[in-house]
Amino acid sequence: MTIIFVLTSILSNGQTLEDYFKVAAENNPGLLSQYKDFEAALQKVPQVKALPDPNLSFGYFISPVETRVGPQKARFSLTQMFPWFGTLKAQGDAAALMAEAKYQSFLDARNKLYYEVSAAYFPLYELKEWVRIEEDNIAILESYRTVSNTKFKNGLGSLVDVLRVDVLLKEARTNLGILKHKEIPLLASFNKLLDRKEDEQINIPETFGVNVLPIDYVKDSLVVDHPLLNSLELKVKAAAASERAALKQGLPKVGVGLDYVMVDKRTDMVVPDNGKDVLMPMVTLSLPLFRGKYRAAEKEAQLMQESYALQKKEVTNTLKTNYEMAVFDIRQQTDLISLFDEQIMESEQALNLLFTAYGNSGKDFEEVLRMQQQLLKYTKLKISALTQYEIALAKFNYITAKK
């Protein structure tokens, strides 16, 4: 079974990365906008499933129309049109499927936001560790300066050794100042995703634990339940429902109505039903003779189905490619972490031997400093590899839509 190492952050106190995910999901304007878009799409369903409004008309006869039972004074007409059977259901299905597709797009936007939060979070960990490492380096160099200065005063060392330490100390202090200034833009970038004040402080992980996670099963299910693919599949179904609705809209519409005519009594003669108002039921049938717009609507829906199907295929290919690259990045950083661990251990051993030899002879101080800077480099590189590993893992989780 193929396996990869997964680094899990452990915070000594305060909020975890999962907590920041929740804050971002609740506050991020872009994500909230996506959810509002989904809610707005839901409101489309009752609109397209509703019957058209009934028509009520009123007419007044300025010159009364004489009839056998008396002159007509006014007319009321009420008509309700009904689309062909199944039209409203097809329209409702299309709208509901498009709303569900927007919800899947919202889920993908949420997963992407989680990745962006992670990608902005772990550089802050890297910065914190680099600051700590540089501070430790300064403390060590200061101790080296004290030792080299003492040996110089006792005639066991040279002034060049002291100057070499001074040069490295100035470089280290400058690097430390630059690192501390870097916190401002990193904090601003992170807090912007959470829609918070730019300078609001966050909790940074103190340690990392290493676990093992199988990934073969994830690849097998990559295209089974991914929000992007689900969204496009739902759009295909929505376009199919739109095609059915367009077909039915091209069929006749039936209307039923009622006419009510107010009649005055005749005064010139007596007739049966004199002055009796008239109540007349009516049936209306539309004639969809101009077929161009209906054929165009059907063709549009068919083309949209083809478009969404091609988009789905493209997204599937992209996801598979990105998956392989994410797995490669994770394994690459895992190998680098192992390598730097070994180099750090061996460099520490060499440094201890060199410093002991220098303490006895007062010679080869330059080698001591070189090994100390090499140890510093490997320690920083390990922290960077840990950071890039976590970012690669966050990307892997986004690509696989891991909950």
pLDDT tens-digit readout, 271-300: 787 778 888 899 988 888 888 999 999 999
Instruction: Evaluate if residue 2 carries a pLDDT over 60.
Output: no
pLDDT number for residue 96: 97
Predicted confidence (pLDDT) at residue 14 exceeds the cutoff of 70: no
Least confident interval from 40-44, 52-56, 71-75, 78-82: 71-75
What local confidence, expressed as pLDDT, does residue 109 receive?
96
129 vs 360, higher pLDDT: 129
Query: For 219-234, what is the mean pLDDT?
Result: 85
φ/ψ of 15, rounded to 5, equals -75, 145
3-class DSSP string for the chain: CCEEEEEEEECCCCCCHHHHHHHHHHHCHHHHHHHHHHHHHHCHHHHHHCCCCCEEEEEEEEEEEEECCEEEEEEEEEEEEECCCCHHHHHHHHHHHHHHHHHHHHHHHHHHHHHHHHHHHHHHHHHHHHHHHHHHHHHHHHHHHHHHHHHHHCCCCCHHHHHHHHHHHHHHHHHHHHHHHHHHHHHHHHHHHCCCCCCCCCCCCCEEEEEEEECHHHHHCCCCCCHHHHHHHHHHHHHHHHHHHHHHHCCCCEEEEEEEEEECCCCCCCCCCCCCCEEEEEEEECCCCCCHHHHHHHHHHHHHHHHHHHHHHHHHHHHHHHHHHHHHHHHHHHHHHHHHHHHHHHHHHHHHHHHHHHHHHCCCHHHHHHHHHHHHHHHHHHHHHHHHHHHHHHHHHHHCCCC
In tens, the pLDDT along 358-381 reads 777 767 788 889 999 999 999 999
Q: Classify residue 77 as exposed, middle or buried by CB count within 10 Å of its CB (0-12, 13-18, 19+).
A: middle
Cα–Cα dist 381/131, whole Å: 13
Segment 10-29 mean pLDDT: 80
CA distance 221 to 214: 13
Express as a percent the part of the chain with pLDDT over 90: 66
Least confident of 84-98, 206-220, 229-243: 206-220
Mean pLDDT of 77-102: 95
For residue 216, what pLDDT band results from cuts at 50, 70 and 90? low
**pLDDT category of residue 310 using cuts at 50, 70 and 90:** very high
Indicate the pLDDT class of residue 403, thresholds 50, 70 and 90. Answer: low
Nearest CA-CA partner of 320 in 233, 385, 226, 399: 399
Residue range 41-60: mean pLDDT, rounded: 93
Q: How confident is the model at residue 11 (pLDDT cuts 50, 70, 90)?
A: very low
The overall average pLDDT reported for the chain is: 88
More confident residue, 16 or 34: 34
**Type of residue found at 299:** K
pLDDT at 8 over 50: no
Residue 199 has pLDDT above 90, yes or no: no
- Rounded distance between C-alpha atoms, residue 248 and residue 216, angstroms: 47
Quote the distance between the C-alpha of residue 138 and its chain's center: 42
CB 128 within 8 A of CB 11: no
Percentage of the chain beyond pLDDT 70 is 92
